[in-house]
């Protein structure tokens, strides 16, 4: 009876000791398994996050390239518009100063005389047949069997004072509006530019215009067939570049 009880108690104690030894090991194994699972999930999350970051970086890089290309394209368009914006304006002004192929001019215009390299104000007068330019000290002479003339292109207000020589084209008879007498004037030819479209060699009579407001008068022979006069406007055309 004693032996049986002793064996039974010994078996129970052994069972308890075995359980005390095995349970912590099982618990450790379970914890390790749980930690391993968590580490795997963290690794997967990390890889997914890195892939997402890489994709976003690639997208941002592409957007940056597209933005640069767009900026370059816009800059090119802006430069083209800046260059072309002046051309339509110039073309519109040119068309506005023309009608049926004729150049519209005002009552007063700047002309450029290459022989003296000066811009001179001229009055437009369709009532005068021949153009006129202010001259003093007019003296004819002969050169190589041809008639020439020396004169001083002068006008105090316009600050003109040039000694010039030119071949005599003819002698014109001019009747002033204030008198019935005919006045004989020497006629020469000068190249004259008006605006950017009108340049021609025209006849000018030599006359003292120092008491008049303008040193040059442009008459019908200069104006006909190529110009139209717009009364009430002046200096429609800018000074032509010399």
Handedness of CA 52, 57, 63, 69 (dihedral sign): negative
Contacts of 122 (CB under 8 A, 6+ apart): 108, 109, 110, 111, 194, 214, 215, 216, 217, 218
Residue pLDDT tens, the chain, 242 long = 444 554 444 445 445 444 555 455 545 455 555 567 767 777 877 777 777 777 777 777 777 777 777 777 777 777 777 665 555 454 545 555 666 678 899 999 999 999 999 999 999 998 888 999 999 999 999 999 999 999 999 999 999 999 999 999 999 988 776 667 788 999 999 999 998 888 999 999 999 999 999 999 999 998 887 788 888 899 999 998 76
Provide the whole-model pTM.
0.59
Residue burial 111-129, b: 16+ Cβ < 10 Å; e: rest? bbbeeeebebbbbbbeebe
CATH, domain range 101-229: 2.40.70.10
Domain boundaries, the chain: 1-96, 101-229
């Amino acid at each position: 009876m004693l032996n049986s009880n002793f064996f039974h108690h010994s078996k129970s104690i052994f069972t308890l000791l075995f359980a005390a030894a095995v349970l912590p090991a099982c618990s450790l194994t379970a914890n390790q398994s749980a930690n391993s699972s968590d580490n795997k999930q963290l690794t997967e999350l990390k890889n997914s996050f890195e892939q997402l970051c890489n994709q976003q970086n690639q997208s941002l890089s592409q957007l940056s390239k597209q933005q640069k290309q767009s900026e370059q394209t816009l800059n090119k368009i802006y430069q083209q518009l800046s260059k072309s914006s002046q051309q339509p304006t110039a073309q519109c002004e040119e068309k506005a100063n023309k009608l049926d192929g004729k150049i519209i001019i005002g009552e007063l215009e700047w002309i450029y005389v290459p022989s003296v390299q000066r811009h001179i104000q001229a009055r437009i007068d369709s009532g005068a047949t021949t153009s006129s330019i202010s001259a003093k000290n007019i003296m004819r002479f002969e050169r190589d069997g041809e008639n020439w003339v020396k004169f001083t292109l002068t006008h105090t207000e316009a600050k003109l004072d040039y000694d010039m020589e030119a071949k005599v084209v003819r002698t014109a008879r001019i009747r002033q509006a204030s008198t019935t007498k005919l006045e004989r004037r020497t006629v020469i030819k000068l190249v004259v530019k008006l605006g950017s479209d009108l340049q021609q060699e025209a006849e000018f009579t030599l006359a003292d215009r120092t008491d008049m407001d303008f040193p040059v008068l442009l008459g019908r022979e200069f104006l006909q067939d190529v110009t139209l006069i717009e009364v009430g406007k002046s200096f429609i055309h800018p000074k032509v570049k010399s």
